[in-house]
Amino acid sequence: MEEFNDSDISSLLNQIAGSSPDTLMAHKAVLGKVRRVRQRRVMAVSAAAVVMVVSGAVAMVQNSNNRDGGSNIAVPLSPGDSQPIKVATTIGLSVTTTTIEGSISIDPIVTDPSASIPSTQPSSNSTTPSNIGNATTTTPTNTQAPTNSQGPLVTTDPSNNPTPTTTRPPSTTPPASSPGVTTPPVTKAPILTSPPTTQPEATSPPTTRAPVTSPPTTQPAVTTPPTTVPELKTWTCGGGSVKYRVTSNGLVLAETTPAPGFTISENKAKADEIVIKFVSNSKNDERKSALKIIRSGLVSTSCEDENFNSRSDSEDSESNDNNEESADD
Amino acid sequence: MDDITQHSLSAQATDVTTLFNLHYARLVRSLTVICGNSEEAADAVQEAFVKAHLKWRKISTYDDPVGWIRRVAINKVRDGHRSRVRRDRAVERMGHEVRLMSEQPAIDEVAELLSTLPKQQRAAAAMFYVEQLSVLEIAEALEVSEGAVKFHLHQARQKLRAHIESREEL
């Protein structure tokens, strides 16, 4: 250690090192730098916190938007989209759907071109057994039933007197009596009884319907199932009207109601398209109506009436009445 | 609780301030010998003390906080030296001459001699003759062995002594 001691070298190097620097000024400078560094750190942390909060808020907004919809479709497709005002009417409809899924597989209304059935009366539908069947046409078999039953209906329709009031009672117009009588508007009972071999369950519905009709009146007002039933929509043409629903699986034909003097000439009900054609019962009357409901993203409806301008005066009055009814609907 | 925190903060500040008042001048002078520029040495020592302020909770647990500050300052000087060498080389490529002169004209010869010494010899001599550090402390600061420090000191002393003797003969 002492071997390295050299006063000359030490003095020389101390000269090169210079005088002592100003410690006070240097200390202030150091404290200022420390303060700036800490401020930068605080700003960085606060900026990171702000970014996290903003990103969290954006994520929440995006989640809420995804939950609300993304639904550009005009019709409600999800259960949460149903209007709260329609809860009272959808309670009965929901009950009928749940019960008929297990018991009835045929839609009676589609098979019946009766013109006297009220088109839009959900409350009355829930009270009568036949109308309960009207409300449920969700299974594919229901859509096939009308095509099978159109044959007999056409043969029984030659009479040109579609009197809605006389054909109202559905139970008194079985298929056996239809040839002699006027058009049987309601064939719910015949359909249920005519195919006993193919559908043994069809004979049992009376037993199941009785408990089914009572629950709508006794059920509590607030239940979650009603929101699952889509809204029943009506589209009216000169030759008649159609009631349908738009579900997540597609279009469901609920009811087809020809106008007085008209009958159904074509009935196609698919998931993405419903085509109903009405023709006049009269041989001299060439009026036709084609009603189409197409669902491709949005649901679009169209109505084509032919030869409605070349009607006689009496037919005009009838059609006016018909239009009024459809307008009421 | 707040009083305790405030007291610890003031104690910490007092400790760093005490260290600063005790060692800042010595460190700056030593680094001035090492790098040949007092402003650069002052900046390096101040940066080291800033880091010490920010990391004082950890540094205060060290056996020799001043040694940590010294190492940080020396590394800072070395980084500055590297960047300065790169800059000088760039300037030299552009055709300008590089001045390797100290800012003190009176001791330009010794400063020039010091600039020719290897950086380890220069650092060892500066810390031994200016800061009056022991061989062990120099070894810790330079992160080398004591034998290496002695070797560097011996080499530096021989060269400086030769220069002094040549001046005395003149």
Cα–Cα distance measured from residue A299 to residue B35, given in angstroms and rounded to the nearest whole number:
83
Structure confidence at residue A45 as a pLDDT band (50, 70, 90) = very high
A15 touches chain B (CB under 8 A): yes
Which residue in chain A has the smallest CA separation from B159? Answer: A9
Tell me whether residue A290 is in a domain: yes
Examine the domain organization and report whether A155 and A218 are in the same domain: yes
Tell me whether residue A168 is in a domain: yes
- Least CB-CB distance to A16: which of B21, B33, B134? B33
Examine the domain organization and report whether A121 and A41 are in the same domain: no
Q: Is the pLDDT of residue B20 over 60?
A: yes
Tokens coding A293: 């409901």
Tell me whether residue A12 is in a domain: no
Examine the domain organization and report whether A206 and A60 are in the same domain: no
Examine the domain organization and report whether A114 and A44 are in the same domain: no
Cα–Cα distance measured from residue A124 to residue A56, given in angstroms and rounded to the nearest whole number:
51
Q: Where are the domains of chain B?
A: 1-99, 102-170
Better pLDDT: A289 or A97: A289
CB A100 within 8 Å of CB A132? yes
Examine the domain organization and report whether A35 and A57 are in the same domain: yes
Structural domain total, chain A = 2
Identify all chain A residues contacting B154, using CB atoms and an 8 Å cutoff.
3-4
- Inter-chain CB proximity A16 and B104 less than 8 Å: yes
- Of A145, A165, A183, give the one whose Cα is nearest residue A282: A183
Q: Give B123-137 pLDDT, tens digit per residue.
A: 999 999 998 899 998
Query: Which CATH code fits B102-170?
Result: 1.10.10.10
- Inter-chain CB proximity A20 and B49 less than 8 Å: no
Sequence-distant (≥ 6) Cβ neighbours of residue B122 within 8 angstroms: B33, B34, B114, B156
Examine the domain organization and report whether A36 and A134 are in the same domain: no
- Inter-chain CB proximity B38 and A26 less than 8 Å: no
- Inter-chain CB proximity B17 and A6 less than 8 Å: no
How many beta-carbon pairs under 8 angstroms link A with B?
A: 96
Range of the domain at A33: 19-68
DSSP result, A162-180:
--TTTT--STT--GGGTTT
Tell me whether residue A11 is in a domain: no
CB A48 within 8 Å of CB B65? no
Query: Closest approach of chain B CAs to the CA of A50, in angstroms?
Result: 24
Examine the domain organization and report whether A51 and A93 are in the same domain: no
CB A273 within 8 Å of CB A294? yes
A124 touches chain B (CB under 8 A): no
Question: What b/e readout covers B123-152, taking b as 16+ CB neighbours within 10 angstroms?
Answer: bbbbbbbbbebebebbbbbbebeeebbbeb
Q: Give A163-219 pLDDT, tens digit per residue.
A: 444 444 444 444 444 444 444 444 444 444 444 444 444 444 444 444 444 444 455
Examine the domain organization and report whether A57 and A169 are in the same domain: no
Mean pLDDT taken over chain A = 63
Which residue in chain B has the smallest CA separation from A10? Answer: B129
- Inter-chain CB proximity A8 and B20 less than 8 Å: no
- Inter-chain CB proximity B33 and A29 less than 8 Å: no
The pLDDT, as a whole number, for residue A141 is 41
Query: Beta partners for A275?
Result: A268, A292
Examine the domain organization and report whether A59 and A142 are in the same domain: no
Query: Beta partners for A303?
Result: A291
Examine the domain organization and report whether A52 and A94 are in the same domain: no
